Structure 1
Amino acid sequence: MPVPPVPPALARNAVETWGTDGRRWLDDLPDILDAIARDWRLRLGRPFDGLSYHWVTKATLEDGQRAVLKLGPPGQGHLDVEAATLEFYQGQGAVRLLAFDPARGALLLEQAGTPATHLVPARDEEATEAAITVMRRLHRPPPPACPLPSLTTVSATFSTHLQRFPADAPLPRHLVERAGRLFAELCADSSDTVVLHGDLHHDNILRADREPWLAIDPHGYIGDPGYEAGALLYNPGPDDRDEALLKLVPARVERLADGLGLSRERIVAWGFVKAVLSEVWTAEGGGAPGSRALDVALHLLPHLP
């Protein structure tokens, strides 16, 4: 079947992130699509807009069920983690995993609706409540021998950044040092361990029919439930540094604390850590930090425990 041109952002990210494996995957993409469509008996639609790291397209199963096909370079591990996380959720709070082919880097997923992004800022309270509802559904104790990584593995991201950037650029060093220490403290004194989505924000919370909202694109960790709240403080659209969006943070903190049964101080701490971590990831990928995540971190800094 004819494949639409690969968006420049996807082509660039695939090569920069996965090197020769990413280039090979891009070259093989038309053949992979043909084989998956044939073997899974799918009718493929056009890919979604804004593709960045994966090829994602609507699909229709032989029985008429609507689905989403997600492809990425096989053997890199990230799709295996997503599949394992969705397999654990079994459709509770997240889209169902319909099929997974690790050798070809293919996930077939239940299709959901529009993201909670459209609720912000006019109906921000409703968007936060949607996230709380989803988190309550997702957060359950991990099973024995759970294959998902511990959240503590993320700690190395802070130390690696500090070694790479010994000065106050591209991020103030004291912020990264404080976030790294606080991350370790929050993990160490956690009283609860659950399976985390790992990247829960407004764009990854979609309206649905069988449940009001369903999560997509889990990164999958085992750790403290408070971590999940962090990304909700600087999303959606973190590149938009509108002061009005920053003013939504205090109400979100209160609502998340009440809805998740966590202290306000813990939500603030995880919010600060996750906001700094987001900027560290930006620097790690060669980008220039300076999004609303940084604004949120600086806003929360005076309120840390």
Structure 2
Amino acid sequence: MAFEPPERLVRALGETYGDDVAARWLGQLPALAEAAVAERGLTVDRVQAPGGRSSLVLLVRCPDGTPAALKLAPAEARPELERAALTHWKGWGATQLLDSSPSDSLLLERLHPEVSLRSLPEAKALLEAAGTLRRLWVEPPVSHGFESVAERTERQATAMRGELPEDVAPLAEAALAARDELTSSSSPSEEFLLHGNFRQSKVLSGERSPWLTVGPEPLVGERAYDLARLVRDRVEDLIAAPSGAALARRRVNKLADALDVDPARLHGWTLFRAVESGLRARTAGRTQESELLLEFAGWL
């Protein structure tokens, strides 16, 4: 199957998993895609571009003509966990899994990739995002392989604890202290299945339901962690606003109130996740993104 993987995918795979892993999987990708298409008798319409940062999505048609999306991801992205989460959600708030194949490729309900919540005015987008996220927060399966919030953030914290540039050290230390306090004081009752990477661009328009989420990186734990990424959506607009700092703090309280989440815990997770993402962007050379995230974190 002849195609060029989107440039964003090529770049992001190297940043996330290393150039060797990225090159190996990208070299295998045409054969993997061809096998997954042939196995299901699919017809390929096109590659979705710019696509995601950890997977290739082909817009396809099933043998009966039903439009679908075929997602292929490297083993390092743990596609089996996405499959498990989508199976558990059964299409409630999320795109529906269309087959039960145990392979690494996922055949999914096709949504409208060109229409995400980012196409809506901000207030409306946040309202729809909150409603979608609420539907995803369910009790996890009794026996599951999802990591916990504590486990995922410990890996991230370990990477942050290295030698830090002087200009960001105080902010990083504050974020790490917030994370330590949050994980040590978490409630056993806050054990929900979480999306793990929820933001406005992950919620797409659909036929079965107006808005459905895609691209989970599932884990289990408290809801405030999952909501924290949404707080900084459209961060570039917040930074450009004259009262951006006040707007950011107000958004924390507004979302916490709308979803019945402790605002102090949402504040802490928002700080940690913004700093962690900002430092990771800096390491990867995405300077502008890093500066925006760290400025936002400093407002909190």
TM-score (norm. length: structure 2): 0.87
1:253 counterpart residue number: 252
Contact 1:115–1:204 (CA<8 Å) still a contact in 2?
yes
Q: Note closer, same or farther for the CA distance 1:64–1:240 as it changes in structure 2 (3 Å cut).
A: farther
Alignment of 1:182-261 (within 5 A): 182-191=178-187, 192-236=190-234, 241-243=239-241, 246=244, 248-261=247-260
2:78 counterpart residue number: 78
Alignment of 1:1-305 (within 5 A): 1=1, 3-15=2-14, 17-51=17-51, 52-73=53-74, 75-99=75-99, 103=103, 105-113=104-112, 114-119=115-120, 123-153=121-151, 154-163=153-162, 165-168=163-166, 172-191=168-187, 192-236=190-234, 241-243=239-241, 246=244, 248-288=247-287, 290-300=290-300
Instruction: Could you tell me which runs of 5 or more consecutive residues in structure 1 were left unpaired when the two chains were aligned.
Output: 301-305
Contact 2:3–2:30 (CA<8 Å) still a contact in 1?
no
Contact 1:42–1:60 (CA<8 Å) still a contact in 2?
yes
Contact 2:223–2:261 (CA<8 Å) still a contact in 1?
no
Displacement of 1:6 in angstroms is: 2.8
- Work out the CA distance in 2 between the residues paired with 1:238 and 1:155: 28
SS at match of 1:76: helix
Q: Note closer, same or farther for the CA distance 1:268–1:15 as it changes in structure 2 (3 Å cut).
A: closer
Contact 1:112–1:207 (CA<8 Å) still a contact in 2?
yes
Displacement of 1:224 in angstroms is: 0.8
| Deviations 1:130-171, CA, capped at 9 Å, x for gaps | 1111121011122222210011112232232222x24425xx
SS at match of 1:109: strand
Contact 1:204–1:217 (CA<8 Å) still a contact in 2?
yes
SS at match of 2:294: helix
Letter in 1 for 2:271: F
- Work out the CA distance in 2 between the residues paired with 1:236 and 1:69: 28
| Deviations 1:100-135, CA, capped at 9 Å, x for gaps | 6565x311111223210112xxx2121111111112
Letter in 2 for 1:124: E
- Work out the CA distance in 1 between the residues paired with 2:237 and 2:57: 23
Letter in 2 for 1:185: E
Provide the identity percentage. 27
TM-score (norm. length: structure 1): 0.85
Letter in 2 for 1:189: S
Contact 2:54–2:77 (CA<8 Å) still a contact in 1?
no
Q: Note closer, same or farther for the CA distance 1:194–1:99 as it changes in structure 2 (3 Å cut).
A: same
SS at match of 1:99: coil
SS at match of 1:147: coil
- Work out the CA distance in 1 between the residues paired with 2:238 and 2:261: 28
Displacement of 1:263 in angstroms is: 3.0
Letter in 2 for 1:69: L
- Work out the CA distance in 2 between the residues paired with 1:204 and 1:39: 28
Displacement of 1:262 in angstroms is: 1.8
- Work out the CA distance in 2 between the residues paired with 1:134 and 1:38: 34
How many residues were matched structurally? 291
Contact 1:125–1:252 (CA<8 Å) still a contact in 2?
no
Q: Note closer, same or farther for the CA distance 1:100–1:47 as it changes in structure 2 (3 Å cut).
A: farther
- Work out the CA distance in 1 between the residues paired with 2:36 and 2:238: 38
